[in-house]
Copies of this chain bind each other. A is one copy, B any other.
Amino acid sequence: MYRFAPGDVVLLIGPDHRVHIVRLQEGQHLGTHHGLLAHEQLIGQRPGVTVHTHKGIPYRAFEPGTADLIRHLPRRTQIIYPKDAAYILLRLNIQPGVRVIEAGTGSGALTLALARAVGPEGRVYSYEQRPEHQTLARENLARLGLLERVSWHLRDIAEGFYETDVDALFLDVRTPWEYIAQARQALRPGGFFGALVPTTNQLSQLLEALQGQGFLLIEVEELLLRPYKATADRLRPVDRMVAHTGYLVFARSTGPETVGPENGRCAP
């Protein structure tokens, strides 16, 4: 039965329905509109517990879900939003036991979601060029006990991926079209490819590269998440929303064998 421990991320919600997210540290206090809340009250307690500020106001504590963890992740980079991470997991067919490559690691938001989804039998191979990003991502996953599910590579993926015959591969880099040949070498025949790009110019270049490398079932989609005010008698969407995170591209590899100009574009 899970109980809160130092270092855990905890969700707290007060009488004003305002959410606080804190990382438990002994001796620390959370400042709320209703007074101070000592972290120590939470340590050793079960999710759902009620604790009180020094003014006696009750707060409820929950363990955060994957979506909460992603939103709250300490970061140095733009991260993949929960709506996109969730859909990427499904479209790349990520399941317990799967082997998946991602590049770049960034702050580790998708790494986290992948590492949870592949389970202890699966494996995530995460590529990054900047050591400071990798360091942060490793810290982020260590805190959640997910460090061993990931192989951390500091490498320019232009030189290729170390792994072969992986089930899935995801690119979240600025020029993904430069690494499609490498992706094909790493993926098993029929392997699942995915990428996220913010601009339509990148999207056009990526589509060309995928067609040139013989990828099939190429699909482009974007997800818009519209939040509503959760008020039964004045129900309506919120005033403002995120208008764009990125275009999602999915495709299937035909395998690592050579793709010649004659069969790249047209032959299946």
Contacts and interface: CB of A to CB of B under 8 A. Distances in A.
Interface of A: 11, 13-15, 17, 19, 46-50, 58-60, 62-63, 65-67, 82-83, 85-87, 89-93, 95-97, 113, 116-117, 119-121, 188-190, 192, 198-201, 203-205, 207-208, 211, 216-244, 247, 249, 252-255, 266-268
Contacts of A65: 90-93, 192
Copies, count: 4
Given A15-B267, A223-B224, A241-B241, 11 more contacts: A13-B216, A48-B188, A62-B252, A67-B91, A86-B87, A86-B90, A96-B116, A198-B236, A201-B204, A221-B225, A238-B243
Nearest to A233: B201
Given A91-B65, A234-B199, A244-B237, A225 B227 contact: no
DSSP majority for the A interface?
mixed
A95 B116 CA distance: 6
Nearest to A210: B230
Contact of A226 (B203, B205, B243): B243
- Please indicate which of the listed interface residues A93, A198, A220, A268 has the most CB atoms of chain B within 10 Å of its own CB: A268
